[in-house]
Amino acid sequence: MKFGKEFRTHLEETLPEWRDKFLCYKPLKKLLKYYPYSSDHLDSRPVFADTTNISSATDDGDVAPGVRPTEDLQGSFVRILNEELEKFNDFYVDKEEDFVIRLQELKERIEQVKEKNGKNGEFASESEFSEEMMDIRRDLVTIHGEMVLLKNYSSLNFAGLVKILKKYDKRTGGLLRLPFTQLVLHQPFFTTEPLTKLVRDCEANLELLFPSEAEVVESSSTVQAHSSSHQHNSPRISAETSSTLGNENLDIYKSTLAAMRAIRGLQKASSTYNPLSFSSLLQNEDDETVTAENSPNSENKDDSEKEDTGPSH
Amino acid sequence: MSSSFTTLEEIYRHNFPNTLWVSSGQELMNNSPVPCQVFPLVSGGSSGGNLFSSSSGFCNGVYVSSSSQARPSVSTVQRDRMTVADVSGEGQRQECSVEIQSLQLINQPQEQKNMTWSSDQLQGFFDFPVPDPQAESSRTMVSSKEVLLKYEWPDWADQLISDDGLEPNWSELLGDPNVLNQDSKITTSSSDITRQEIVFKNQHQVDPSMEPFDTKNSPASSMTSKQRMRWTPELHEAFVEAINQLGGSERATPKAVLKLMNSPGLTIYHVKSHLQKYRTARYNPELSENTEEPQVKNLKTIEDIKSLDLKTSIEITEALRLQMKVQKQLHEQLEIQRSLQLQIEEQGRYLQTMIEKQQKMRENKKDSEADPSAPSPNPSQAFLPKATNSEPSITQKQQNGISTMDQSESASGTSNRKRVRED
């Protein structure tokens, strides 16, 4: 339930044009919810060799445990998931291609500007040069933001798929999760290495052009503006940010924050305990060797001593 | 149908001895809509010109709905080239099941998606050593654990995302080194995962019996216009070079570009769509550049140039920098999350293989002892000490004569995953 909520919240806050490209988690959940009523089988024991039912092991008390997933449900479920995969892949690969092109363009622009600058006189004034650079910088940040959001898209959808598959197996006693997850792992939308490379490339370029710590402000008026922006609360900063960033960047900025919130949400403990969940891995709540350093709050964690904490996860 | 399916299955089993059959043949026949098909990565072997060989990792995931459907939807999924190796922590196992109907349906001019190409990356693909999965997985778990333990969500990010009214801690914002430290760790983990990927040296040669499959694929795919292709930066560079040789994006034609690029497997449809995108991308920046300048000039003549510019640019810079920080942070988060996700899956599978091995051992033991009467005792003591009472269900299955690895693996996997702790 938590995931569903996080997911939905994120959907609302993310880039508008991406919204319908995400997994249709809620509808799938609903589909599963109505599952028992669509089934006709009442076998509680796997009679046939080919039955994939291990129902007696499921801990879902309310559903008739021995019910084999009907062909209809499994078929339609798989079909829907397939379509979702197609959707993800299409969107992802499309975006990836866009990024490749745009990044290449940006790099070319940088080269051009550098050349212009080197020629000593192409530029009317320094400000024009800095204007150009500012544009390039803005574009780099924008594309970086979008790329990271695409990664988030991939990750969130994967998490959603895994969850919904788990629910499916739990609900119907089927064995869909493992094979399907294996399939998903190799889908283009989840193989994000090329994208990561692009992101790194982008970051490298930004570092090169605009070293992060080098923005030292000399004049008094600007110092005042600078320090005031430091001291004031982030609403002030967001106001400044919004006015200076422009709509596009602002959207990305907001979506980025939303994505981070979603990830935080995923990392929190969920209602069902799972030693292999994010929360367990991050918090080690039930670990025998919980120490004082092993604080539940991830942001307070500052220890690095603990290497092998008992049954490691 | 069943006979041909069985034959096909045998063929696959024969040629990919390491593969793991996820769903039993029987089941596939009885419940037709069954998922899954991750073919082991067939190497990009020798047979020229067809899809199967030219893509390094060709994975046919075919989901076929039941034949009663009016229009069965076939989606073929292909694995990406090297990225598969990077991604999947499969250890030594691969799962592979074939749906016979899928082969027949592939003949139909369905949309073939996901063709991934990168011949240059093909080389690196086969260089991965075959690892020891156990050692690797335990190591990767430890290393990712370290990552997690060292992970720190800086206050500023926390405040940013939780409550807009709080002030971000600028000192931490500017001087947070931890974020960068994790990167190396993460890449270590992911490279370990990479090595765990099965390396297809054994399955290097193109399987002749797979040819019928291939030839069915190629005409189908060449007929369809929409093929999913992943443009890598290298490929794009080649594209741009070809474009420049031809005199610019406006003058270049797809056919000429295709010819110049001379990349195997690249079709004109790919080039067309890519060219279109390229043109759009070039056109837009030019537009924006042209429109911005006059505005800038107006501004300059009206106001005091230097101070205003400086102030504005400072603000912009700050805003951009903040945005960049946030994005970077998110990216790191995502890297961590992703490695976690992969680890979890890997661990789950590892557990299954362990359990299954134990079961096999017990089976063999039972057989050798010629002890048919005894219902298998609770095997939980035999293997993982913390195994739960889901084991009896597995042993019952064994008694029923189900010895397909996939069954027990999946059965144990789904139930054990929730409770069993890894040792």
Rank A45-59, A77-91, B156-170 by mean pLDDT and report only the highest.
A77-91
- pLDDT category at B248 given cuts 50, 70, 90 is confident
Residue A262 backbone class (left: φ over 0; alpha: ψ -120 to 50; beta: rest):
alpha
| Each residue's pLDDT tens digit, B189-247 | 444 444 443 333 333 343 344 333 333 333 344 444 445 788 899 999 999 999 999 88
What is the per-residue pLDDT across A94-126, written as a single tens digit (0 to 9) for each? 999 999 999 999 999 888 888 877 776 555 567
Q: Is the pLDDT of residue A74 over 90?
A: no
Helix/strand/coil for A312: coil
- What mean pLDDT is reported for chain B? 56
Residue A226 contacts B, CB cutoff 8 Å: yes
A224 touches chain B (CB under 8 A): no
User: Higher confidence at residue A213 or residue B313?
Assistant: B313
Q: Judge whether B122 and B134 are in contact, CB under 8 Å.
A: no
A151 near B CB under 8 A = yes
**Under a CB-based contact definition with an 8 Å cutoff, are residues A280 and B109 in contact?**
no
Residue of B28, B67, B153, B169 for testing the chain A interface, max A β-carbons within 10 Å = B153
Q: What is the pLDDT of residue B307?
A: 60
Q: What's the pLDDT score for residue B22? A: 40
Q: How far is B172 from chain A (nearest CA, A)?
A: 12
Give residue B114's region: left, alpha or beta (phi > 0; psi -120 to 50): left
Grouping H, G, I as helix, E, B as strand and the rest as coil, residue B19 is: strand
| Token code pair at residue B413 | 């996997």
Span A23-49, pLDDT tens digits:
888 888 888 887 765 444 333 333 333
Can you give the length of chain A in residues? 313
- pLDDT at position A303: 41
β-sheet bridge partners, residue B94: B19
Instruction: State pLDDT tens for residues A245-287.
Output: 677 788 888 888 888 888 888 777 555 556 666 666 666 544 4
Percent of chain A with pLDDT over 90: 18
B294 touches chain A (CB under 8 A): no
A223 touches B at CB < 8 Å: no
Q: How far is CA B138 from CA B67, B143, B185, B198, B227, in A?
A: 44, 9, 15, 17, 39
Q: Which residue of A has its CA nearest to B340?
A: A278
Determine contact, residues B216/B104, Cβ cutoff 8 Å.
no
Phi, psi dihedral angles at B61 (to 5 degrees): -100, 110
State the average pLDDT for chain A.
71
pLDDT of residue B355: 86
Condensed to tens digits (0 to 9), the pLDDT of residues A131-167 reads 888 888 889 999 999 999 999 999 999 999 998 998 8
